[in-house]
Amino acid sequence: MNAHAIRFRKLPSRAQTIVFPLLLSFVMSGIVSAIATVRAIGLTEDLIFRILQSWSLSYAVAFPTALAAVPLVRRLVGMIVETPR
C-alpha cells in the first residue's frame, strides 16, 4: 500500500439514506444549473461565477427535495420493478 495514501473509515450503512440523495442532488443540480445558465447568458466572462451562484440556490432546494422524494420514488420503483427471489 502507498505510504502516502489517505485512509478513512467508511460511514455506517444507515448513512446511505442521506449520502445517496446528498451526492445525487449535488451532481444533478450542478449539471442542470450549468446548462440553464449557459443557455440563459451564453459564454460570458463571469460564467463560472454565475453558474456557482445558480448552483448554490439550486442545491439548497434539490437536497431537501431529494430527501423528501426518496420514499415515494422507492415505492414507485417497487411497483414497476420485480423484486428478486
Rounded to the nearest 5 degrees, what angle is found at the Cα of 68, between the Cα atoms of 28 and 12? 80
- pTM equals 0.78
At residue 80, the pLDDT reads 96
**Is residue 34 within 8 Å of 16, Cβ to Cβ?**
no
**Is residue 59 within 8 Å of 26, Cβ to Cβ?**
yes
Mean pLDDT for the chain? 92
**pLDDT tens readout for residues 36-51:** 999 999 999 999 999 9
Q: Could you tell me which residue, 65 or 5, shows the higher pLDDT?
A: 65
**pLDDT tens readout for residues 54-67:** 999 999 999 999 99
